[in-house]
C-alpha cells in the first residue's frame, strides 16, 4: 500500500486513517504546489495533479472521501464505519461527505483569495462571503455535536473527513470562538495519537 502524500493537505486524512487502522503503508512525499505533481507520469496517477492518491496492489484511487470509504469497506471490519443496516449509517455518509461538499469549497476560496492570488486580483467580497458561508457550515457541525463527542456518536471515517475539514477551517481563520462544541471537538481529534503521527509525516 502506497500513499501519495503532502504535509498540510487532505492526504493527512488518509495517513490518519491508516494509522487508526494500524496498517502498514509506504509514503511518497510531495509538497502542495510541487512541480513533481504536474508531470505526465504523475498525471497518470491523478489527472489533476493532486494528493492524496492511494495505491493498493493494482488499484490506484484518488479523492480523499472515496479513499476513506474504500479503506473502511475493505479493511475496517466495522470499527470506524457503522454497518449499512445501522440507524447511524445514513448520517455517517452525510457527515463523511459534508467535508468536501459544504466546508472545503469555502476553505478553498479563502486560501485562493488570501494566499495564492496577487494583491491586485484579490476580491474582498468573495473572502467575506466565503467566511460567512463557512461559519454557517461550522455552526451546523457545532449544533450536531451537542451532547456528542463525535459526529455520529462514536469515532468514525466521518470524523476523519469532516473533523479534518474543521481543523483546516480554523487554520485559515474561521472564527469559532462561539462554536464551543467545534472547538473542543478539534482538540479531541488533535489529541488522537494517529492524527498526531499523520501530521508529523
Ligand X SMILES: N[C@@H](CCC(=O)N[C@@H](CS)C(=O)NCC(=O)O)C(=O)O
Q: Which residue has the cell 502498514?
A: 24
Nearest to 166 by CA among 176, 157, 156, 154: 176
Q: Residue 32 CB, nearest distance to ligand X (Å)? A: 5
Footprint on this chain of ligand X (rule: CB under 6 A): 9-10, 32-34, 37, 50-52, 63-65, 100
Task: Name the E strands within the chain.
Answer: 2-5, 26-29, 53-56, 59-62
User: Which is nearer to ligand X, 34 or 183 (by Cβ)?
Assistant: 34
- Strands in 59-62's sheet, in edge-to-edge order, are 26-29, 2-5, 53-56, 59-62
Among residues 88 and 108, whose Cβ is nearest to ligand X? 108
Rounded to an integer, what distance in angstroms lies between the CA atom of residue 15 and that of residue 195? 8
Is the CB of residue 168 less than 8 Å from the CB of residue 64?
Answer: no
User: Least distance (Å) from ligand X to the CB of residue 164?
Assistant: 10
With respect to ligand X, which residue has the nearer C-beta, 64 or 144?
Answer: 64
Q: Least distance to ligand X from the beta carbon of 4, Å?
A: 9
User: Which one, 10 or 102, has the nearer CB to ligand X?
Assistant: 10
Closest residue to ligand X, judged by C-beta, is 50
Question: Least distance to ligand X from the beta carbon of 70, Å?
Answer: 12
Amino acid at each position: 500500500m502506497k500513499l501519495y502524500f503532502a504535509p498540510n493537505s487532505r492526504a493527512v486524512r488518509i495517513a490518519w486513517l491508516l494509522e487508526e487502522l494500524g496498517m502498514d503503508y509506504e509514503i511518497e512525499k510531495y509538497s502542495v504546489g510541487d512541480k513533481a505533481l504536474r508531470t505526465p507520469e504523475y498525471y497518470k496517477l491523478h489527472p489533476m495533479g493532486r494528493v492524496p492518491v492511494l495505491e493498493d496492489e493494482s488499484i490506484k484511487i484518488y479523492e480523499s472521501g472515496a479513499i476513506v470509504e474504500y479503506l473502511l469497506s475493505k479493511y475496517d471490519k466495522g470499527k470506524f464505519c457503522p454497518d449499512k443496516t445501522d440507524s447511524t449509517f445514513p448520517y455517517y455518509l452525510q457527515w463523511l461527505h459534508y467535508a468536501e461538499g459544504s466546508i472545503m469549497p469555502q476553505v478553498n476560496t479563502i486560501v485562493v483569495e488570501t494566499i495564492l492570488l496577487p494583491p491586485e486580483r484579490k476580491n474582498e467580497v468573495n473572502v467575506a462571503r466565503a467566511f460567512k458561508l463557512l461559519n454557517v457550515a461550522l455552526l451546523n457541525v457545532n449544533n450536531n455535536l451537542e451532547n456528542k463527542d463525535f459526529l455520529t456518536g462514536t469515532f468514525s471515517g466521518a470524523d476523519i473527513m469532516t473533523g479534518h475539514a474543521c481543523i483546516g477551517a480554523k487554520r485559515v481563520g474561521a472564527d469559532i470562538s462561539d462554536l464551543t462544541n467545534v472547538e473542543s471537538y478539534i482538540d479531541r481529534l488533535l489529541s488522537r495519537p494517529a492524527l498526531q503521527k499523520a501530521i508529523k509525516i
